[in-house]
Amino acid sequence: MYLADHTWEELGDYFERESLALVPVGSTEQHGPHLPEGTDHLIAEGYARAAAERTGYLCTPTVKVAVSPHHRQFHGTMWVDAPVFRDYVTSMVRNLTYHGIDRVVFVNAHGGNVQHLREVGRRLRDAGDAYAIEWMWNESIPDLVDEAFEHNGPHGGPKETAMIQHLHPELVREEKLAEARDGGWTRFHDEMEQVSQNGARTFYDCVENSPNGVFGDQTDATAEKGERLFEAATDQLVELCEWLAARDSDVVLPPDHV
């Protein structure tokens, strides 16, 4: 169920019987010449709402602007400073705990959020407020993603392209796929060695490696591949929610000192 669509009385019924919520988290940032800037939050919301529909668990509104300063050189990218993001998400979850939620799945679709959502989860658990864990769709089905694309990429690549082709095909600039491939960094995994020095990662911003802001071969993406990956990852998310909901209430609390 989607929180914003329901009345407070209907939500009260939910909080009486359940204690889990899905919180979709994405970004609003450049995704090359072929994908919309909302790519990450559209993917996150797609997964969260699909899992909520299948399970009946609560899905909150999406966090759409997050930690994206590494894309700031491209027009329209929005971001908040990392401490602000962590404080905001922490406060948002504590709002949910006021209503009885004590376990949360951050349905995340932006790599720049991962470490910060993990930190938020630690804060909440150390305080005994909630058990909140970060879930990233492609990390739940790594073998399927690798098999689907010859030249994948972590940002604006074929996996995200296929996902938007499936979820929001009207937003994909299909005529720009070859341009995205040719103007970006196609062989990401092979070329990463070129941007490190003596074991140190030497870059901070996306534009330092990819002139148009994307990686991988976008022409390898199709809506059919996107649908297959979406369904498989949604299965994983549903199983995660059911596992978390079934855990004892002491999951919220950190272990005692040895």
The whole-model pTM stands at 0.95
Query: At residue 134, what is the residue type?
Result: E
CA-to-CA dists, residue 190 to 163, 209, 216, angstroms: 24, 13, 11
Quote the pLDDT of residue 203.
87
CA distance 71 to 213: 8
Which sequence spans correspond to the domains of the chain?
3-249
C-alpha dist (Å) from residue 142 to 159, 182, 202? 11, 25, 26
- For residue 193, pLDDT over 70 is answered with no
At 186, the pLDDT band (50, 70, 90 cuts) reads confident
Identify the pLDDT of residue 69. 97
Share of residues in the chain with pLDDT > 70 (%):
97
Q: Which pLDDT value is given to residue 189? A: 61
195 pLDDT above the threshold of 90 = no
Measured CA to CA, the distance from residue 5 to residue 10 in angstroms comes to 10
> Which pLDDT score, from 0 to 100, does residue 198 have?
82
**DSSP 3-state assignment of 61?**
coil
Which amino acid appears at position 143 of this protein? Answer: D
Band of pLDDT at residue 218, cut at 50, 70 and 90: very high
Conformational region of residue 215, where left means phi above 0, alpha means psi within -120 to 50, and beta covers everything else? beta
Q: Report whether 108 contacts 139 (CB < 8 A).
A: no
Residue 136, token pair as written in the block: 């990233």
Contact 93, 133 (CB under 8 A): no
71: alpha, beta or left, given left = phi > 0 and alpha = psi -120 to 50? alpha
Per-residue pLDDT tens digits for 17-73: 999 999 999 999 999 999 999 999 999 999 999 999 999 999 999 999 999 999 999
pLDDT, tens digit, 9 for 90 and up, residues 117-141: 999 999 999 999 999 999 999 999 9
Q: Flag whether pLDDT at 207 surpasses 70.
A: yes
Is it true that domain 3-249 has CATH number 3.40.50.10310?
A: yes
How do residues 66-119 score in pLDDT, each as one tens digit?
A: 999 999 999 999 999 999 999 999 999 999 999 999 999 999 999 999 999 999
Report angle CA 53, 54, 60 to the nearest 5 degrees.
40
Reported confidence tier of residue 192, pLDDT bands at 50, 70, 90: low
Count how many Cα atoms sit within 13 Å of the Cα of residue 20 in the half-sphere of its side chain. 23
Q: Report pLDDT digits (tens) over 141-158.
A: 999 999 999 999 999 999
**Is residue 16 packed enough to be buried (19+ CB in 10 Å), middle (13-18) or exposed (0-12)?**
exposed
Q: Is the distance from CB of 229 to CB of 148 less than 8 angstroms?
A: yes
Q: What are 170's two structure tokens?
A: 């009207």
Strand partners, 215: 185
Average pLDDT for residues 199-220, to the nearest whole number? 92
- Interior angle at CA 99, CA 97 and CA 105, nearest 5: 45
